[in-house]
Amino acid sequence: MSLASASPLWLRDNCPCADCRDPRNGQKLFQITELPGALAVDAVRDARTPDGSPAREVVWSPDGHRSVYPESWLGDHLPGASAAPGDGRTEDDKELWAASRFDGGLPEADWNAYLGDPAVRAAALDSVLRLGFVLLRGVPVRDRHVLDVAGTFGYVRETNYGELFDVRVEADPNNLAFTGARITPHTDNPYRDPVPTLQLLHCLVNAAQGGDSGLVDGFHAAALLRAEAPEAYEILTRVPVPFAFADERTELRAHRPLIGTDPDGRIREIRFNNRSIGTLRLPADRLDAFYAAYRRFGELLLRPELQLDFRLVPGDCLIFDNTRLLHARTAFAESGDRHLQGAYADIDGLASTLAVLRREGSTR
């Protein structure tokens, strides 16, 4: 296996020997500034790792350091050997969908099976990363139990709404979510930096007329906008939008585009919430262009074929990616009884739990 294509500094920075990495935790023991300035490969020869696997030994100039790289590692990491993996957060790592994708049923898991079978839990968590959501059925209808659900894969992210929040009609609401009004597809807390990446909604009561739930794959919608109206898409990826929330105890602001992309231009985040957009301050021509693009994206998000509609029943707990999926609900009679408890969590904790389950072989 040729090492000619490898950058010397990159290769040396990845030396796995005990002098370069702590054998207990794998963390590097040197700074990049401590490597020789005129670093070069002096010699390459066949070798074996301590477990007998084939490897390549590199002798370095000018310091004579020796590095042994497993051939399996080189095959996965040498430039051009394979496509560079993403971080799991962009459109390239997702299965984008329209509502018809779930004509055969929603991705779901029974609560007891989820708790008792690591393979069921792994499949459920994978669904959140791949599809953006999963529905747990039969979760005990108990006050604050949504916190226990979050604890099965990560940690609750406490906000100004507390550890959890009650989604029900309030006499003096500080948010339209706490009324019976229709709520169109939106991102929660776009005025927060960073925005909560996961949301959980646990249904305790849903006896009101109306109040059905809806989800839209924002990544799929943004990809459609890119294909149908590329100029509008570009505007929504470049123009920072002021989002704001304020009540007597809180004032939050964030400036982010409606469609967030990574350095390679891949869709990575959606922030869309008509209730929380503040006043843009741009020249008139740029405002006209932004609002035309904003309206087009808003209309696209309301296409019936994109909205997945369903009704939560007591014992259902929906877990979804708040940076990808937009959630909605139909209006309901405020005289009816409807009570959900929600919480926020972080998607990196869920991804970590899934990675450990996979490492332990807990997949089907």
Q: How confident is the model at residue 83 (pLDDT cuts 50, 70, 90)?
A: low
pLDDT exceeds 60 at position 32: yes
The yes-or-no verdict on residue 178 having pLDDT over 80 is no
Phi, psi of 120 (to 5 degrees): -65, -40
**Mean pLDDT on 112-122:** 98
pLDDT score, position 1: 55
Supply the pLDDT for residue 270.
98
CA–CA dist 239, 255 (Å, integer): 9
- Structural domains of the chain, with CATH: 8-77 (3.30.2020.30), 91-359 (3.60.130.10)
Per-residue pLDDT tens digits for 352-361: 999 999 999 8
- The pLDDT score that the predictor gives to residue 81 is 65
- Specify the pLDDT at position 174: 64
Look at residue 4 in the predicted model and tell me its pLDDT. 77
Return the C-alpha torsion angle 232, 236, 237, 239, nearest 10. Answer: 120
Q: Tokens in use for 338?
A: 């409807």
Quote the pLDDT of residue 39: 95
Q: Would you state the pLDDT for residue 363?
A: 60
What pLDDT, in 10s, does the model give residues 236-279?
A: 999 999 999 999 999 999 999 999 999 999 999 999 999 999 99
pLDDT at 294 over 70: yes
pLDDT at residue 201 is higher than 70: yes
170 pLDDT more than 90:
no
Return all residues near 27 (Cβ < 8 A) that are at least 6 apart: 21
Residue 330 near residue 212 (C-beta atoms within 8 A)? yes
| Mean pLDDT to the nearest integer, 308-330 | 97
Examine the pLDDT at 332 and tell me if it is beyond 70: yes
- Mark 223-249 as b/e (b = at least 16 C-beta within 10 Å): bbbbeebeebbebbbebebebebeeee
The rounded Cα 88 to chain-centroid distance in angstroms is 8
Q: Determine the pLDDT at residue 79.
A: 82
Residue 63 above 60 pLDDT? Answer: yes
pLDDT, position 296: 98
Residue 223 CA to residue 267 CA, distance in Å, equals 8
**Which residues are CB-contacts of 156 (< 8 A; sequence separation ≥ 6)?**
147, 150, 163, 164, 343, 344, 345
CB atoms within 10 A of CB 353: 16
Share of the chain above pLDDT 90, in %: 85
| pLDDT for residue 187 | 98
Per the prediction, the chain carries an average pLDDT of 94
Which of 23-32, 49-58, 80-89, 151-160 is the least confident region?
80-89
Q: Residue 158 corresponds to which tokens in the numbers above?
A: 């406490």
Instruction: Report the range of poorest mean pLDDT among 11-25, 81-95, 179-193.
Output: 81-95
The per-residue pLDDT for 362 is: 61
Q: What is the pTM of this model?
A: 0.92
pLDDT of amino acid 359: 92
Has residue 323 got a pLDDT over 60?
Answer: yes
User: What CA–CA distance (Å, rounded) separates 146 from 154?
Assistant: 12
Please report which confidence band the pLDDT of residue 38 belongs to, taking 50, 70 and 90 as the band edges: very high
pLDDT at 140: 98
